[in-house]
Structure 1
Amino acid sequence: MGQTARVSAIVWSAVVSLAAWLWLLLAQGMFWRTDVGLPPRRDPGGWPSVCVVVPARDEAAVLPESLPSLLAQDYPGRAEVFLVDDGSADGTGELARELARRHGGLPLTVGSPGEPPAGWTGKLWAVRHGIALARARDPEYLLLTDADIAHAPDSLRRLVAAARTGGFDVVSQMARLRVESLWERLVVPAFVYFFAQLYPFRRIGRKGSRTAAAAGGCVLLRAETAERARIPDAIRHAVIDDVALARAVKRGGGHIWLGLADAVDSVRPYPRLHDLWRMVSRSAYAQLRHNPLLLLGTVAGLALVYLVPPVAVVAGLAAGSTAAVAAGGAAWLVMTGTYVPMLRYYRQPLWLAPLLPFTASLYLLMTVDSAVQHYRGRGAAWKGRTYARPESVPDEV
């Protein structure tokens, strides 16, 4: 009797998982499609001025690959780069100046805002300083880009053309992350896949949709919109600052576009599982608003959607349950099929697709670890700084 009950529970869990996957496939904004790229370029009538703001903290290892690509932008209008050295101890600021002297190109200004006051993350304090410097040039657009992001020579031209011709207040591209080590191949494409599942790109770009997100590595923002939405002051404590920025813009009636990049790449390596683990766990619990109930729901949801299908197949084979094998196998097949386009986008072998449940189990553990580190007082730690929960910071600076 007990064996029958266990098999029945496995069958029903697999059926629920299959139903969840069919819903995700058909009703979650076609999140699995990877053809959401910048629209075909149509040059605007005139090219507006742009200031590029690059917050950088201890980025000397990646700047030689990324900064020259910004300085070499082939942009017909006026453009200038502001790199903000956020208290680096590795000579980031001086290296940036040396790269500008060596490579030439767009004018470069290097600034330093000092340590952030209470209630500010270091990155957003640096962004605030960079925007303040840029305002003296009265730009129409701001390009917020990270220090590890390399841009193709026409990247800025394409971003501005998309914003002007599409009427967007924000145009953001999800930079193509590095996938060279074994762990990068297993974890990185899934990271973008999960992000798209939470924030379907097609919904973000739809007027009237409440879904809002951006990718912090590459955000072209209309300067007037930034001022109206009080960016970055309004989101000064946000650990997941790109999503917070997009929400602030949408609340003010702004129009946002987000898609996958084909000429914007992250050069930061994550060779070990430990490196990727830190990247995810530092902000995972913040994504859940530090809410234990949301954490429990997320863990249960990940287990049901990603782990139940292979467990049902194995358990069904062991128990001789055709129903468990059929339901679990069908759910696993749909899951695998939705992951294939992302693997193709990252030019990875398709045999990685059936391993998505294993990768999801890693993300589940990373999320739990993020909560554990938070309650130990080490949550949202990054490059020597640990940030408080938003509720514990002052309302005004």
Structure 2
Amino acid sequence: MISPAGFGALLSEFAENFESRGELGASVSVWIEGEEIISEAGGWFEAERRRPWTTRTLVPVYSATKAPAAATLLLALDQHGLGPDTPVGEVWPGFPLPTATFAELLSHQCGLAALDQRASLWKHEEIVAAIEAQTPAWVPGEGHGYHPRTFGALMDEPVRRLTGGPLAWFWTSRVARPLDLDFWIGLPHSQHRRVATLYPGKASPADFKEGFYQAFQDQGSLTHRAFASPKDVRSVREMNDPKAWSAGFPAMGGIGTASALAKFYQIISGRIPGPFSESIRAALATRIVDGDDLVLLKPTAFSCGCQLDPLDDIGRKHRHLYGPATKAFGHPGAGGSHAFADPENGLSFAYVMNQMELSVMPGHRATSLIDALYGS
């Protein structure tokens, strides 16, 4: 159970992030049983410290977008009488593994993390053509590996075929707008003034001793290729371009507040009414794969579009990015943004910031908040 002491400890750690951990601007939100218990913000939009960061400040959250996008695809399937067990080929005939299910696709099992055919992130049709021409690096049953960039088109193309419009449009019209979620996949120009500037994390020599970063520097490795395809929009500077904010990249282009992200996880946990059926909520929450990740080169676990903490052979967590509960699920974003649901405690959490860390997993500024909340 979460105690009031945990709320105070979290706020103390949030303040410490600014005092000693290099935080520039950030927000944190905690909801329990449909109510926002914590909504805290501090710092600045930009390094020049002209505009104060508030709870309404928007910021790009990179791969924390993947969970809302996956929920959108599941909703589109559900509205056509389809679901996670539907073969992808029934919706997308050109998909290179037509008998693979949407559950296998959304849990990163289809081996399409890296593309041999060059395609631009700005050109959806090019990415689809490259995916259809790709020989999978592995198939379901042979393992899983994180799809950092191709995951966007892998979700977007089925939504387009099912609804006649892009995933960004379906998210806004069927989820975000009806539920008053200040989280955008495709930000309108009218909201651009609310977006904070991102700043890249800095590498230390110790970072490059880790297997992931060694592979990331090797241009021939699967890890490097996965993070380089589709090409374009590779630097933080490019994600500060309003063109990227409005593009609606489903794998990495979401922009929002901590409060909106945490509220989204209340909705998909069933604590706030929404359009997601019980079967969709179960698909997002239920662990499908757990083990060594062929791209991230560390243990990972996935449901249909969300991450969970991986477990060892006797069910203990390898790490606690989602708190102590084994059924907690969510998704981080590169540089430190993080959000998740803990159904056992009726809780959801989100943290967003603009001074990034060099990490594809949540860093110390996020985990210190989670540890404090749970009294770890």
Q: TM-score, normalised by structure 1?
A: 0.29
The structure that is helix-richer by fraction is: 1
* Structure of higher CA gyration radius: 1
